[in-house]
Structures are given as structure tokens and as C-alpha cells.
Amino acid sequence: MATREAFLEKVRQAQPAARPRPEVPLFDSVGGDLRARFTAALQAMGGTCVEVASAADVSALIRERFGDAASVASATPEVAGTRALTAETEPASLQDIDVGVVRARFGVAETGSVWFSEREYVVNALGYIVQHLIVLLDPAELVDGLQDVYRRDDFRDARYAALVTGPSATADIEGVLIRGAQGVRSLMVVWVAAR
């Protein structure tokens, strides 16, 4: 047996017995309109929200905001991209993409976060390596708080999950806020019902 396989076998044998996950308590909601709370929380983190009549209007929104020459990789069939995106796409090949488009499974009103898994991104790097991220979100798919996320089947069934709140930012060097230092420079949530 190869050294690698021998090592992995030892790790497998040393695994502790499975046990149930702890119950996450439900806290009282602060109430109010979920969409308004989501929007305020996202804006506080540097993101923006817009509404369109249908997903067909997103391409025009991208051209208006980023220009006709913007390169677009879309992880949703609702919006056409200028570059094909499949599970076989090399993550590094997205390094020159201006705009990534993805549909969030749901949003969290408490934090203004959108939820993604490997199913939504198609290629994980899409959410981090492109310059700007456009997120389609159905207003009917909002949950109140983070504790609600853990009760969803899609959270339990995903190989991994990411809650994304606004564009990448850092202010650790002399307290100067820099957007896009480790990820997307802008994040726009587009309110549009799922088909």
C-alpha cells in the first residue's frame, strides 16, 4: 500500500463515531419587512439592490453599468454570458471576467447575506475571482435570521455553503477602506422572481 493510502486509511480508522448535530435555538425575530431589512443590511456592507421586471432585463442592466465590452460568466441559464461556464471550466480561466452572474438559493434579512453552494456557483471561483458579482434573488426566498439557515434542507444537503454579504473589503491598513482587495469589487442583488 502506498504511503498516501496508508496514511488515509489510518485517518479513516481514527474517525470518532457519528453523533447528531446540536439543536440551534430559534431567537425572536426583530420583525418588520424582510426585504427592507435585507436591503438595509446589504447596503450597510457596501452592496446594492435593484429590481427588474424579469431576468431577461439583467443583460441590459449589465451593459448599462459595466459597458458593452464587459466579459460575463453566468452560472444561471436565465442570463446569457459572453463566456461559457460549466463544471469543467478551469477556475483560473475566470481571472479576466468582469461580471459573474449567479442565482442565490435564498437571502438572510438579518445580515443582508445571500446563500450559495456548489450547485449555484457551478465553478466555486466565480464568487471570488470576478470583478463584479450580480446576484439574482427571489424576494419570496428570504429567511429572517441566521438561525433559520441551519434548519433548511438545502443547507444540510450541500457539500459546502457560503453566505456572502456585500463586496470584499478590508480596512486593516491605517483604517482605510479598500473594496475588492480579496474578492469582488461590487455586489449587486437583483430582485427577480425565480422561474
CATH number (domain holding residue 48)? 3.40.50.10420
83 found inside a domain:
yes
pTM of the predicted structure, to 2 decimals? 0.85
140 found inside a domain:
yes
> Cα torsion for 22, 127, 116, 81, to the nearest 10°?
-170
Which are the contacts of 109, defined by CB distance < 8 A and separation ≥ 6? 34, 35, 37, 38, 41, 142, 143, 144, 145
Domain count, the chain: 1
45 found inside a domain:
yes
20 found inside a domain:
no
3-class SS of residue 169? strand
24 found inside a domain:
no
Residue 23, pLDDT score: 80
Q: Residue 41 is part of which domain span? A: 34-191
Neighbours of 16 (CB within 10 A): 5
Residue 167, pLDDT score: 86
10 found inside a domain:
no
CA-CA distances (angstroms) from residue 190 to 59, 102, 124, 155, 169? 12, 10, 20, 22, 21
120 found inside a domain:
yes
Write the pLDDT tens digit of every residue in 123-158: 999 998 999 999 999 999 999 999 899 888 888 888
Extract the residue ranges of the chain whose pLDDT is less than 50.
Answer: none
Residue 58, pLDDT score: 95
> Cα torsion for 85, 166, 114, 69, to the nearest 10°?
-30
CB 100 within 8 A of CB 114: no
Residue 48, pLDDT score: 95
Pull the grid cell for residue 83.
463566456
